[in-house]
């Protein structure tokens, strides 16, 4: 059975762009691997303690000579490492903060990067022990750092790729969400692109499974106006509403129970026809999505 480990690290909670897209990734993974076991660690809401003197000294002390504080620190580290080693797929959602990763994610990295457990030294140098993993990085950045003059300021992607490779994880896919600070519309476009990339990624990784149940995309072909919402042009079915990327991401993250969401969407669908008539009269440039 496939095991999935999802790490989120943004302090913005439900408003986090990286968390939203990572939830979409998780939903797609669950679609392809319906029997998968999932562990979700929200490192912002439930942070891992930063390493301290007891941790640093404890890793060099024989287990039978550890004091209580050292034993406690290493027990947490061992638990986090066990989670990582058990996972087949690792999804890491990270928001750039001051050109780097959040300190909460760095604390997790410090706990799982341990000689003898996740890497070891040999005659040819260090060798990563965390192998056979598929890693998906979901990175949200306020500006554009993939190209142009700000590229050298990106200390997120290069660092994470190098760190993961050091530990033995070289099969890494990156979903970039850039320009989120350039306005609400730019942020939503970036998130939408990230969700679409999540679907494409699953098709690349598991083409046979993806081909049997192709997920629908928003906006559908032909709906290209800038302010167009999925509900502007035709009466949606419950299935269409349930297949919306944002709705699916919410269900994947277990933020809303599917049966509860289905009931609410049924109510929405039943009240949309008057809005459609008004939208068709006014034009979709002034349309708003239902509350």
Q: How far apart (Å, rounded) are the C-alpha atoms in residues 123 and 86?
A: 28
The structural domains of the chain, with segments of one domain joined by +, span 3-215, 216-291
- 8 Å CB contact between 92 and 135: yes
CA atoms within 13 A on the CB side of 139: 27
- 8 Å CB contact between 123 and 95: no
Helix (H), strand (E) at residue 247: helix 245-252
Query: What are the φ/ψ torsions at residue 249 (nearest 5 degrees)?
Result: -65, -40
Residues 6 or more apart whose Cβ sits within 8 Å of residue 197: 175
Cis omega (within 30 of 0) for bond into 81:
no
Q: What is the pTM of this model?
A: 0.72
Residue 86 has what pLDDT?
Answer: 97
Residue 202 has what pLDDT?
Answer: 82
Highest mean pLDDT (candidates 155-169, 175-189, 195-209): 155-169
What does the DSSP 8-state code read for residue 275? H
Chain segment 15-31, per-residue pLDDT in tens: 889 999 999 999 999 98
Chain segment 26-52, per-residue pLDDT in tens: 999 998 899 999 999 999 999 999 999
Q: Which CATH number fits domain 3-215: 3.40.50.300, 1.20.58.1030, 3.40.50.360, 1.10.730.10?
A: 3.40.50.360
Chain segment 211-238, per-residue pLDDT in tens: 444 444 444 343 333 333 443 434 444 4
Token match 């049966």: residue?
259
Name residue 212's beta-bridge partners. Answer: none
Token match 């003898």: residue?
116
CA distances from 90 to 77, 93, 126, 291 (A): 17, 10, 22, 35
Chain segment 59-100, per-residue pLDDT in tens: 999 999 999 999 999 999 999 999 999 999 999 999 999 999
Q: How far apart (Å, rounded) are the C-alpha atoms in residues 285 and 291?
A: 17
Residues 6 or more apart whose Cβ sits within 8 Å of residue 203: 210, 211
């Amino acid at each position: 059975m496939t095991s999935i480990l999802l790490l989120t690290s943004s302090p913005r909670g439900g408003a986090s762009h990286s968390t939203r897209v990572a939830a979409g990734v998780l939903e797609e993974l669950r679609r392809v691997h319906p029997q998968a076991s999932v562990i979700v660690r929200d490192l912002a809401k439930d942070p891992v303690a930063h390493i301290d003197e007891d941790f640093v000294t404890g890793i060099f002390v024989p287990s039978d000579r550890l004091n209580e504080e050292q034993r406690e620190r290493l027990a947490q580290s061992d638990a986090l490492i066990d989670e990582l080693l058990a996972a087949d797929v690792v999804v890491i959602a990270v928001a750039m903060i001051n050109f780097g990763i959040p300190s909460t994610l760095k604390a997790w990295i410090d706990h799982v990067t341990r000689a003898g457990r996740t890497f070891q030294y040999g005659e040819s140098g260090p060798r990563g022990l965390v192998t056979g993993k598929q890693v998906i990085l979901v990175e949200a950045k306020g500006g554009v750092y993939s190209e142009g003059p700000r590229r050298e300021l990106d200390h997120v992607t290069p660092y994470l790729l190098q760190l993961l490779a050091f530990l033995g994880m070289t099969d890494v896919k990156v979903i970039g969400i850039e320009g989120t600070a350039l306005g609400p519309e730019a942020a939503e476009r970036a998130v939408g692109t990230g969700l679409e990339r999540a679907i494409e990624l699953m098709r690349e990784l598991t083409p046979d499974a993806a081909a049997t149940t192709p997920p629908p995309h928003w906006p559908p072909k032909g709906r290209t106006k800038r302010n167009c919402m999925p509900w502007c042009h035709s009466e949606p079915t419950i299935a269409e509403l349930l297949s919306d990327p944002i709705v699916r991401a919410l269900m994947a993250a277990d933020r809303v129970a599917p049966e509860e969401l289905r009931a609410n969407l049924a109510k929405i669908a039943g009240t949309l026809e008057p809005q459609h008539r008004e939208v068709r009269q006014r034009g979709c440039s002034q349309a708003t999505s239902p509350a």
